[in-house]
Amino acid sequence: MSFIVPFYNRYYAFFIRGIKPKQILKNEEIESSKFLNQTNMKYPYPTPKFMVILIQVHSRLNYLKELINSLRETRNINETLVIFSHDIFDQDINKLIESIDFCAVCTLQIFYPFSIQVYPDKFPGHDPNDCPKSIKKEEAKLRKCNNADNPDTFGHYREATIVQIKHHWFWKLNFVFDKIMITKNLKNLHVLLLEEDHYVFQDSIHIIRKLTKEILSDVDLVSLGYFKGKSQLFDPKSLKSWSKAYWWASSNGIGFVIPRMLFEKIKGCSKMFCEYDDYNWDWSLQFVVQKCFKDHLISLYPTFSRVAHLGEWFVNFNWKMALILRVKHAIQTLS
């Protein structure tokens, strides 16, 4: 299904705010029964026969193209619902997503309703009276700019473009788990979190299912990405191995699967998540896990990452894609 929206801000705002009940689906004939997750309740984290892939999208079209290409090559992708969550309305991005032909079930686009594009000149966007980021507190108080008495830990003031990422992250989770009619009633819903600059490898869904078969009662989630320090590991010797450890944002913060049980825990700590003095959603989640959860999260993950973070590497894009090809070839040897 395609759709056209006037770019004038007030009409765009009305459209984005009104998209919630519309829930535009590419495949209009989809039936809710296709999404029912018939799972084995023996484990707290059951093996999902059907899963949701939730992708946070901003404006990097070149990265998004590579992510979509990687999804096209992912085995069992036709058994998923792929949801793209946007904080801008962009015709080129919409056309790219509408051109997807590999997902036999459907794709879905949702739009963050409190974006800067919708509120360009007032909170939660940029208010004309916002304090400049690096202004000294004393000068801010003299100017009487917004929130002058409350800079962050580093003495900086709010930047709408940065904090929007955290707000969008939390909104999309709530929207998918609690609002979308197809998913809100699935008690065993599992959501794989990706971003526009990620790249998934061809056996990623297979690995999620394989690891959930190995899962024990003390494991809370499965992660597909693994970092050691600042380096993401793609050691061919580790192709068939996985590890179990405490979940850390710095180690397993990309490509992890959130089951409904975990989402309910996060939602129960939403005040702490939102008020924690950090604009990063991952470090805010880390703080919540340590301070609000009764027990630390245990993650099961492949020691050979199945999700690459392209935007995190400070190297040439072509070099990144060359590495991707080598990793894909290594994984193909397992088939």
Q: Binding site for substrate: residue ranges?
A: 56-60, 87, 164-168
Cβ neighbours for 335, distance < 8 A, ≥ 6 positions apart = 203
Do residues 37 and 49 touch, judged by C-beta distance below 8 A?
Answer: yes
Place of tokens 């301070």: 291
Compute CA distances 23 → 17, 106, 142, 167, whole Å. Answer: 11, 12, 46, 20
**Residues 311, 280, 298, CA angle at the centre, nearest 5°?**
90
Full DSSP string of 231-245: EE---GGGTT-EEEE
- As annotated, the binding site includes 56-60, 87, 164-168, 197, 309
Instruction: Specify whether the CB–CB gap between 233 and 226 falls below 8 A.
Output: yes
Binding residues for Mn(2+): 197, 309
- In the block, tokens 């290594």 appear at 330
